[in-house]
Amino acid sequence: MSLGFTSIGISEAKFLEEEAPNVEEWLKKGYQGEMQYLENHFDKRLDPRLLVSDAKSVISLSYNYFPEELQTDDSYKLGKYAYGQDYHHVIKDKLKTLLAYIQEEIGEVSGRAFTDSAPVLERAWAQKSGLGWNGKNSLLIQKEHGSFFFLAELILDLELEVDTPFSADHCGTCTKCIDACPTQAILPNNTVDGSKCISYFTIELKNELPASEKGKFDDWMFGCDICQDVCPWNRFSKPHSEPLFQPHPDLLQMTKEDWNEITEEVFRKVFQKSAVKRTKYSGLTRNIEFLKE
């Protein structure tokens, strides 16, 4: 059975003792901005046994989304992860298939599937499962693949042999992501001030965009890949082979002029099953207006 995941690792389901004070400090400093949901279920974020009764193992997986083709140069930009269908649904279906396979092979196993959809510290579990290290931009990086991939988890009440955590940091003295961030959201010590990130402004922030950030978005209308695009490890990124992540045929050809004139009908057609629907037509047009000179 091949589901297309690029890597897999296993760690013991237990309280994240090292991460707890860091998460608490991050929230205390207000780096979550208006993402109130990050303040909820604090205990569940740190202990998978509160998400799955009697959890024993966390299986971490990665799934490549690096596209073969990019948008035209004369376009407002989308985060590459949003080119195709909404990854939440695509990955979750694959995880459910994997869980069903485990249950068929082993018998009665209880578990839950997650992909950026619940209070799970995905990058912490991925690192503990040996998948990669957390870069200065706080994203998980793999030597073979870079960072253009989704993370996903199966939390199971099944005891499995665990992998060795990834302890090396291969960023070294490189500061390309920190230097390139137009809003200075990337802080020292592998931390991102979420309330300053372009992705936060263009996706999460529901109110008016702050005038102080005008001219800093570098034409990003939904999400932002700047810190990934400049990362030297992403020279190893290879195009994905997932048909569901292929963009709508019109998307890559749309110019700034097309985006400036986008109608709700075109929005619905191009983003029918896309994560971009999250910001709604009104949110995307708000972002586009903000990008205009």
Active-site residues: which are they? Answer: 116
Q: Are 133 and 127 in contact (CB under 8 A)?
A: yes
Q: How far apart are CA 258 and CA 210, in angstroms?
A: 25
What are residue 288's phi and psi, to 5 degrees? -65, -45
Distance CA 193, CA 189 (A): 11
Is residue 12 within 8 Å of residue 162, measured between CB atoms? yes
Distances from the Cα of 218 to the Cα of 33, 108, 183, 287, angstroms:
21, 51, 10, 12
C-alpha 235: how far from its chain's center? 19
Angstrom CA distances, 135 to 32, 171, 239, stand at 19, 6, 21
Among 46, 12, 51, 15, which residue's Cα sits nearest to residue 158?
12
Strands 191-192 vs 111-114: parallel, antiparallel or unpaired = unpaired
